[in-house]
Amino acid sequence: MSEAQTPAPRLGDAEVADNRGAGLWQPTADSAGPPPDTGYPTLLTPRGGGRAIARVPSARVALSTASTYPESTAAAFEMATRLGYDGVEIMVWTDPVSQDPEALRRLSDYHGIPILAIHSPCLLLTQRVWGVEPWAKLQRARTVAETLRAPTVVVHPPFRWQRDYARDFVEGIERMANETDIRFAVENMFPLRARGREVSAYAPDWSPVGDDYRHVTLDLSHTSVSRSDALAMADELGDRLVHVHMADGIGLAKDEHLVPGRGNQPCADLLERLAARGFDGTVVVEINTRRAESRAQREADLAEALAFTRLNLAAAPVTAAGRLP
């Protein structure tokens, strides 16, 4: 059976735990090892030895601070640390702490968890955060990312009414990318649907696939709304895909951000494909927990999303000769 035909274990297929050696499986060195150009850091094998069952890429799994709304940015750091996330993505919004790089640095240091991305304030409700000039906001996001050593700034395409910004957006993002090591990862959005019609609120397009962006974020809640083929988008983006917002949806005309596995998006398949090609970007859990009735319920959803993502972000192992061991 080929590597493509051999899926990684999925939640529910077996009683497994990915706890970096603390559970049923443990990471081990493999004398044959994966092909030298893959960069996989570990193989997972049954504790006590035996055939390797999965290889795990170097991608880290982060928690978006948007996932804990309406709780604070500070609360997101606390939950991310306790649940075992590898880092956080900061959604810059009306919470003053999310806008303050020194406050964010103190939270990162206190909790011992890195900031892996800054989501620039480009939502409708954040149009006045860090001013109203969009390029100035992106420059500030870059400065904050550089200060906090976050490798990625997530940005949405312009709204259609931001005509001057939209006119030069593709070229402007490329210019900014040439000035820094920070990756400006343009996120896929979605058209608005009503009465059988679709209208795009974004320019040059809600989809980044057809434009020459150097780096892209793929959001699976947004592919649900746009009714896009997430796997086809990922394949077409290739190495330009450096950042993933892991969520789910059932195809409604609104942005759902369900816990992955609760909708109809190919969340597990995408994670397996990313692992198979040695994805070394960041996978960010960005779910909606606003309806959680308690902190415990919110944390249960965040823990489930993390477990799903970690378990499926693995691929069938190969030897140096390219065969299954």
pLDDT at residue 183 greater than cutoff 60: yes
Is residue 144 classed as helix, strand or coil in its secondary structure? helix
- Left, alpha or beta for 184 (phi > 0: left; psi -120 to 50: alpha)? beta
pLDDT at residue 163 greater than cutoff 70: yes
Q: What is the pLDDT of residue 18?
A: 37
> 60-312 adopts what CATH topology?
TIM Barrel (3.20.20)
**Could you tell me which residue, 215 or 34, shows the higher pLDDT?**
215
pLDDT at residue 50 greater than cutoff 80: no
Listed residue (221, 231, 293, 283) closest to 258, CA to CA: 221
Delimit the domains of the chain by residue range. 60-312
Q: What is the pLDDT of residue 47?
A: 66
pTM to 2 decimal places = 0.84
CA distance 200 to 27: 46
| Residues contacting 135, CB < 8 A, separation 6+ | 165, 172
* 240-257 tens-digit pLDDT: 999 999 999 999 999 999
Q: What is the pLDDT of residue 45?
A: 64
Assigned token pair, 228: 């896009």
Confidence of residue 42 (pLDDT cuts 50, 70, 90): low
Average pLDDT, the chain: 86
pLDDT at residue 57 greater than cutoff 90: no
pLDDT at residue 10 greater than cutoff 70: no
Confidence of residue 316 (pLDDT cuts 50, 70, 90): confident
CA dihedral (317, 319, 320, 321) in degrees, to 10, reads: -120
The stretch 175-190 carries a mean pLDDT of 97
The stretch 154-169 carries a mean pLDDT of 96
Is residue 137 classed as helix, strand or coil in its secondary structure? helix
CA distance 221 to 272: 18
Question: Which residue's entry shows tokens 């297929």?
Answer: 13
CA distance 156 to 184: 10
Is residue 192 classed as helix, strand or coil in its secondary structure? strand
Q: What is the pLDDT of residue 194?
A: 75
